[in-house]
Amino acid sequence: MELRHLKYFVTVAEELNFSRAAGRLFISQPALSRQIKNLEDELRVMLFLRQSDGLTLTQAGQFFLEQAQDILNCSHVAVQSLKTNYTNTLEPLVIGYIPTILQSLLGETLHRFKLAYPEVAIRFQEMPPSEQVRALREGTIDIAFMGNPPDELEQEFIVKCVKKMPIAAVIPDTHRLAYESSIDLASLASEKFIGMSEKKYPGRNDRICDVCRGAGFVPNLHLFADSHPSMIALVAAGQGVGIMPSEGASLPHPQVVFMPLHHPIYYGRSTAAWRKETPSKSLAKYLQILFENGEASFSVPLSDRVY
């Protein structure tokens, strides 16, 4: 038995639904069901009653839930106390990110951070949002910059908006609208759209559909890219059009135009996420830089439509 098994069990016990718990954990429902069954086999006791109307905890499951929560809490406290009281040097700061944010806010804040704290080593790991969530959960990164993640992540992590930017259409430079100054997204209603891999960018296609519905149509999502550069490459190859936060234009995009929209006007959020436990000294210093002088916003005004 490992700590991750306890995390799986506690999440299922809180949701009493494998599907919702799998969504929170960003793993497949069959994999989560197998993990819980393996845990029950190892403990030689049933933790859940599986009924037609859902799950309920057995008496043993209720007892084990309290113990598992205590163990997870104690492990967090022990690790953080060790870091705080017995570490003489600042730990490296490990950052997970999607590439669209590297050239904008992330690059700016890291420059200021290195000027203020040159003694802190920084490590970067480019990864899609789903892998960032897993890395946060396992403690292999300290902070994640993942664009606009699913709302349910706020139940597990601290999630703050650090920047917002308008959504743009991504079209080939040979497109009939490529020389316009801005367009109504409805003018692309008949086009094939390129979405994002649901496995790597969970919830992103729902947001793409929301933006298009704001323009009065449902997009024909016929291909799904594994990354923003892949989406740009597919658009350049004439495989369809897309929508993306305008900061994506910082990525190389030959044969592609990032076209501003004058209807609907949506904003994308770049968010930072980190664990709810007391941050390490290095992360605490970086968060101070990230949110100083109001340069990063803790929220987006409710009047703005968010991608």
The CATH number of residue 230's host domain is 3.40.190.10
Higher-confidence residue of 88 and 126: namely 126
Q: Is residue 306 part of a domain?
A: no
Asked if 221 and 193 count as a contact pair (C-beta separation under 8 A), the reply is yes
Report how many domains make up the chain.
Answer: 3
Q: Is residue 47 part of a domain?
A: yes
Per-residue model confidence (pLDDT) at position 220: 96
Domain ends where: 86, 118, 134?
86
Segment 131-144 shows an average pLDDT of 93
Residues 100, 39 share a domain: no
Q: What is the pLDDT of residues 161-220, one digit of tens each?
A: 888 889 999 999 999 999 999 999 999 999 999 999 988 898 889 989 999 999 999 999
Q: Is residue 152 part of a domain?
A: yes
For residue 247, count CB atoms less than 10 angstroms from its CB and return exposed for 0-12, middle for 13-18, buried for 19 or more.
buried
C-alpha 54/C-alpha 71 separation (Å) is: 26
Residue 79 CA, distance from chain mean position: 25
Give the domain extent around 43. Answer: 3-86
Per-residue model confidence (pLDDT) at position 287: 93
Per-residue model confidence (pLDDT) at position 23: 87
pLDDT at residue 257 is higher than 70? yes
Residues 182, 259 share a domain: yes
C-alpha 270/C-alpha 73 separation (Å) is: 30
Segment 144-165 shows an average pLDDT of 87
Q: Could you please report the per-residue DSSP string of 200-248?
A: TSTTHHHHHHHHHHHTT---EEEEEESSHHHHHHHHHTTS-BEEEEGGG
Name the token pair of 210: 């929301």
Q: Is residue 307 part of a domain?
A: no
Q: Is 269 left (phi over 0), alpha (psi -120 to 50) or beta?
A: beta
Domain ends where: 59, 86, 113?
86
C-alpha 23/C-alpha 307 separation (Å) is: 20
Residues 182, 60 share a domain: no
Mean pLDDT for the chain overall: 87
pLDDT at residue 296 is higher than 80? no
Asked if 152 and 24 count as a contact pair (C-beta separation under 8 A), the reply is yes
Residues 276, 144 share a domain: yes
Rounded to 10 deg, the angle between the 129-138 and 3-15 helix axes is 110
Q: What is the pLDDT of residues 267-293, one digit of tens each?
A: 888 889 999 988 888 999 999 998 885
Per-residue model confidence (pLDDT) at position 2: 87
Q: Is residue 220 part of a domain?
A: yes
pLDDT at residue 298 is higher than 60? no
Residues 199, 170 share a domain: yes
Q: Is residue 32 part of a domain?
A: yes
C-alpha 88/C-alpha 91 separation (Å) is: 9
Residues 276, 143 share a domain: yes
Q: Is residue 70 part of a domain?
A: yes
Percent of the chain with pLDDT over 70: 92
Domain ends where: 60, 86, 112?
86
Segment 32-42 shows an average pLDDT of 92
Residues 32, 180 share a domain: no
| DSSP bridge pairs for 241 | 193
Per-residue model confidence (pLDDT) at position 251: 85
Q: Is residue 302 part of a domain?
A: no
Percent of the chain with pLDDT over 90: 53
Residues 158, 274 share a domain: yes
Residues 74, 114 share a domain: no
Residues 136, 171 share a domain: no
Residues 150, 175 share a domain: no
Query: Any idea what the CATH number is for the domain that residue 29 is in?
Result: 1.10.10.10
Per-residue model confidence (pLDDT) at position 301: 39
- Signed CA dihedral, 10, 11, 17, 22: sign only: negative
What is the band of 104 on the pLDDT scale with cuts at 50, 70, 90? low
> Cα dist. 11→19, 24, 41, 200 in Å?
11, 8, 18, 21
Residues 273, 258 share a domain: no
